[in-house]
Amino acid sequence: MSVELEGWGLVVRAGGYSRLHVHPGWSLSGVYYVDAGDVLDDRPDSGLLEFVDPRPAAETDRIAWLTGAGREVILPRPGLLVIFPSWLAHYVNPYQGIRPRVSIAFNARIKSIDGQNRVSEV
């Protein structure tokens, strides 16, 4: 099996954020928080990672009340690893801490299973 990976480091300072996006062409994406920065009692949304299910009417799912009607919110903390399907839309709220937040993000996809740069049918 051959897996293609790409990764990048992020240092986010006060005011840093990311817009709603997906990672097209990849299978899995993720982020590992080396240092989550500051947690602010007066800004509970500071730097939160939020997932939004892009499927139409996802909030009508019978268990949507468990996940916030198609949304999931993650509070970053040191050592946390979050892995998710690359099609899942996500964004990061503006970070307002004094200390920088340090994380490593990555994408992965299966390039081949049979050694010939193709995924064999199962």
Q: In this predicted model, what pLDDT tens digit does every residue of 66-88 receive, in sequence order?
A: 555 678 899 999 999 999 999 99
The pLDDT confidence band at residue 122, using thresholds 50, 70 and 90, is: very low
pTM of the model: 0.83
Instruction: State how far the Cα of 22 lies from the Cα of 99, in Å rounded to an integer.
Output: 27
CATH of the domain at 101: 2.60.120.620
Instruction: State how far the Cα of 35 lies from the Cα of 11, in Å rounded to an integer.
Output: 9
Question: For 37-71, what is each residue's pLDDT tens digit?
Answer: 999 999 999 999 999 987 776 666 655 445 556 78
Distances (CA, A) of 35 to 52, 76, 97: 24, 9, 12
Instruction: State how far the Cα of 33 lies from the Cα of 103, in Å rounded to an integer.
Output: 4
Sequence-ordered alpha helix ranges (H) in 1-122: none
User: Is residue 119 in some structural domain?
Assistant: no
User: Is residue 99 in some structural domain?
Assistant: yes
Query: How many structural domains is the chain composed of?
Result: 1
